């Protein structure tokens, strides 16, 4: 059976722990490979390699670091199909979606290509007599990223793209469920000119994550995954004195006002709720129609749209979405569907029991639609992360605004309307980090920044854009005096600028 390797100091490294995680082919349900689960000692080897590499990488000038990013982008683009196939084969998302996963990561690499500009400090000439003040952004040292299964290309690139361009050296601990693409990306970084040890990949589970949290040389951790683990990483990393940003789960709402273009809304909702089998932190699993007429009309159109959806293997070009990642996740989603029924929501379309001919053991789930879901239900409060759309009816704009605002998660939200003033008011007042106006999946472009609120993110700074640069650097401020003659100010009082 294929065995994935760690990638440390520019070389593949066989796992020595004797523990492995299964990697499935979600189309067939069979185990296709296994990933080694690292020990604390193996993690330490990677940290040592990264420490050695930091000495030189941190003083390579920013323009040369940017050139490595330009070359990496070229190499990834040249291998787009190979990467997308590998990604789909372990994750289960359809090929076009895997290309999107790689492409969204590359957009952050494009941002990182401009790192010389982003790292320029500030300068004040003549802050006092003969005094100039300037600031510079310096890399932190060895830093780490811990990533989820659902975007095995994009999210690692969000993190290491900016961190490495800033002069740090990196340990990536990808999801053990689909770890092959992250290893390929690290190999391509070396090919692009990053010296050995600048980007290391260590596979693992809680043991590897705890080793990162406890390692004294790791200066900063970026985490993306589910909220309980995000909070754990945030709390333990901060207690160890590390800088931590930890993005968690989501339950994004799509609010539909009565004046919205429903033909468009139905298409947008179907893609955002069921695309990638709902395994996206920016999916739209909750729709909130405002008013009875909007709700009835939308429901009818959604049922018709769902009937046209094509679920298929990840390699089927006609399929709109593929299987979920593994059997445990399929079971979890189906348990939530049953819970929804038990809680009293109306299951309008039931996606359970879906079978694809020739792939009966694959992890497929058909699209499901619930109506009359209420805010008290557990299935509304919690993240399902599957192809399940829940309709929560609201009788006014204010009631619709309140739902995402009061929900424990606050990653993304969307409003569909033709009324600019209502949209503007909604965007200003909603208690959620990323807002779409007639945009169902409002993932910000790479030079802006990604991050939710409430239980969707712990820590202070977001991913990529200038927020990312701030996260991966520390600022130093220099006050320099080159006086013309003797400075007569008293040395015994706090200096002030008069």
The tokens describing 35, both together, are: 């990933």
**Is the Cβ of residue 198 or residue 432 nearer to ligand NAD in the bound state?**
432
Tell me how far, at minimum, the Cβ of 391 lies from ligand NAD, in Å.
21
H/E stretch holding 21 reads strand 20-25
By CB under 6 A, how many residues form the interface with ligand NAD?
26
Q: CB-based burial of residue 311 (10 Å sphere; 0-12 exposed, 13-18 middle, 19+ buried)?
A: buried
- Piece in contact with ligand NAD (CB under 6 A), picked from 173-181, 284-292, 331-339, 420-428: 173-181
35 binds ligand NAD (CB under 6 A): no
Asked if 205 and 234 touch (Cβ cutoff 8 Å), the reply is no
Strand stretches in 26-119, DSSP E: 30-36
Both tokens assigned to 418? 């033709």
Q: Which of 192, 229, 272, 414 binds ligand NAD (CB under 6 A)?
A: 229
| Least spacing, CB of residue 65 vs ligand NAD, in Å | 25
Our CB check for ligand NAD shows the closer of 17 and 419 to be 17
Question: In the chain, what is the straight-line distance between the N-terminal and C-terminal CA atoms, in Å?
Answer: 74
Instruction: Mark residues 122-151: x for contact with ligand NAD by CB under 6 A, - for none.
Output: ------------------------xxxxxx
Instruction: List active site positions.
Output: 281
**One-character DSSP codes across 423-488:** HHHHHHH---SEEEES-SS-PPPTTS-B--EETTEESS--BSHHHHHHHTEEEEEEEEE--SS---
- Contact assessment for residue 285 and residue 390, using Cβ atoms and an 8 Å cutoff: yes
Q: Which stretch binds ligand NAD (CB under 6 A): 62-70, 225-233, 363-371, 472-480?
A: 225-233
Nearest residue to ligand NAD, by Cβ distance, number only: 225
CB of 228 to ligand NAD, least distance (A): 8
Q: Does 362 help bind ligand NAD (rule: CB under 6 A)?
A: no
Residue with Cβ nearer ligand NAD (54 or 223): 223
Give dist(CA 204, CA 20) in Å, integer.
8
173 binds ligand NAD (CB under 6 A): yes
Nearer to ligand NAD among residue 161 and residue 225 (C-beta): 225
Cα 346 from Cα 367, distance rounded (Å): 15
**Which segment (24-32, 121-129, 224-232, 474-482) binds ligand NAD by CB under 6 A?**
224-232
Q: Which residue in the set 169, 200, 368, 411 belongs to the binding site for ligand NAD (CB under 6 A)?
A: 411
Instruction: Provide the Cα torsion 432, 433, 436, 441; round to 10°.
Output: -110
Residues numbered 180 to 199 that lie near ligand NAD (CB under 6 A) are none
Q: How far is the CB of 149 from ligand NAD (least distance, A)?
A: 4
* Residue 281 binding ligand NAD, by CB under 6 A: yes
CA angle at residue 200 from 199 to 203, to 5 degrees? 145
Smallest Cα–Cα separation from 21: which of 43, 40, 45, 38? Answer: 38
Token duo for residue 111: 């941002």
Contacting range for ligand NAD; rule: CB under 6 A; set: 172-180, 355-363, 371-379, 438-446:
172-180
Rank residues 156 and 362 by Cβ distance to ligand NAD and give the closer one.
156
Cβ at position 250, least distance to ligand NAD in Å:
5
- Total residue length of the chain: 498
Residue 390 has which token pair?
A: 């829940």
Residues in Cβ contact with 168 at an 8 Å cutoff, skipping those fewer than 6 apart? 54, 57, 58, 139, 140, 141, 142, 143, 219, 220, 472
Of 158 and 397, the one with the shorter C-beta distance to ligand NAD is 158
- Compute the distance between CA of residue 150 and CA of residue 92 in angstroms, rounded to an integer: 10
385 touching ligand NAD, by CB under 6 A: yes
Fill in the per-residue mask, 201 to 220: x = in contact with ligand NAD (CB under 6 A), - = not in contact. ----xx--x-----------
| Angle, in degrees to the nearest 10, between helices 262-274 and 292-308 | 60
Residue linked to tokens 């694959």: 362
Pairwise CA distance, residues 240 & 145, whole Å = 16
**Footprint on residues 426-465 left by ligand NAD (CB under 6 A):** 452, 456
Both structure tokens of 214: 């406890």
Give the nearer residue to ligand NAD in terms of CB position, either 132 or 205.
205
Q: Report the alpha-carbon angle 460-47-164, nearest 5.
A: 55
Query: Which residue's CB is nearer to ligand NAD, number 385 or number 426?
Result: 385
Name which of residues 243 to 272 contact ligand NAD (CB under 6 A): 247-250
CB-based contact 391:370 (threshold 8 Å): yes
* Distance of closest approach, residue 46 Cβ to ligand NAD, in angstroms: 15
- Give the shortest CB-203-to-ligand NAD separation in angstroms: 9
Q: Which is nearer to ligand NAD, 62 or 204 (CB)?
A: 204
Binding site for ligand NAD (CB under 6 A): 146-151, 173, 175-176, 205-206, 209, 224-226, 229, 247-250, 281, 383, 385, 411, 452, 456
């Amino acid at each position: 059976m294929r065995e994935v390797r760690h990638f440390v100091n520019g070389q593949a490294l066989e796992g020595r722990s004797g523990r492995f995680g299964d990697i499935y082919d979600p189309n067939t349900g069979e185990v296709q490979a296994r990933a080694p689960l690292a020990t604390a000692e193996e993690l330490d080897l990677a940290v040592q390699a990264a420490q050695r590499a930091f000495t030189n990488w941190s003083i390579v000038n920013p323009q040369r670091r940017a050139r490595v990013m330009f070359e990496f982008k070229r190499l990834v683009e040249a291998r787009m199909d190979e990467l997308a196939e590998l990604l789909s084969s372990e994750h289960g998302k359809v090929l076009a979606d895997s290309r999107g996963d790689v492409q969204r990561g590359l957009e952050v690499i494009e941002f990182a290509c401009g790192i010389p500009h982003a790292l320029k400090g500030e300068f004040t000439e003549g802050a006092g007599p003969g005094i100039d003040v300037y600031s510079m952004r310096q890399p932190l040292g060895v830093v780490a990223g811990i990533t989820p299964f659902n975007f095995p290309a994009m999210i690692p690139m969000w993190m290491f793209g900016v961190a490495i361009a800033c002069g740090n050296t990196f340990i990536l601990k990808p999801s053990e469920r689909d770890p092959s693409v992250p290893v390929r990306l690290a190999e391509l970084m070396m090919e692009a000119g990053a010296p050995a040890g600048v980007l290391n990949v260590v596979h693992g589970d809680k043991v590897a994550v705890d080793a990162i949290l406890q390692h004294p040389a790791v200066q900063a951790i970026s985490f993306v995954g589910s909220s309980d683990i995000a909070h754990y990483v945030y709390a333990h990393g901060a207690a160890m004195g590390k800088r931590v940003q930890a993005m968690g789960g989501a339950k994004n709402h799509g609010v539909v006002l009565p004046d919205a273009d429903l033909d468009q809304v139905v298409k947008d909702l179907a893609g955002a709720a069921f695309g990638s089998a709902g395994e996206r932190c920016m999916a739209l699993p909750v729709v909130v129609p405002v008013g009875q007429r909007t709700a009835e009309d939308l429901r009818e159109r959604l049922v018709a749209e769902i009937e046209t959806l094509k679920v298929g293997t990840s390699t089927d070009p006609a399929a709109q979405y593929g299987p979920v990642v593994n059997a445990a996740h399929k079971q979890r989603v189906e348990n939530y569907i049953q819970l929804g029924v038990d809680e009293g929501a109306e299951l309008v379309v039931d996606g359970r029991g879906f079978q694809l001919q020739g792939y009966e053991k694959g992890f497929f789930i058909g699209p499901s639609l619930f109506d009359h879901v209420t805010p008290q239900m557990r299935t509304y409060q919690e993240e399902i992360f599957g192809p399940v759309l829940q309709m929560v009816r609201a009788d006014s704009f204010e009631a619709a605004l309140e739902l995402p605002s009061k929900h424990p998660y606050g990653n993304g939200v969307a409003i569909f309307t033709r009324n600019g003033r209502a949209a503007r008011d909604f965007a200003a007042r909603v208690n959620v980090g990323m807002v779409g106006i007639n945009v169902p999946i409002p993932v910000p472009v790479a030079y802006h920044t990604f991050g939710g609120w409430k239980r969707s993110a712990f820590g202070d700074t977001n991913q990529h854009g200038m927020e990312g640069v701030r996260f991966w650097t520390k600022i130093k401020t220099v006050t320099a005096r080159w006086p013309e003659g003797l400075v007569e100010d008293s040395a015994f009082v706090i200096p002030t600028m008069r």
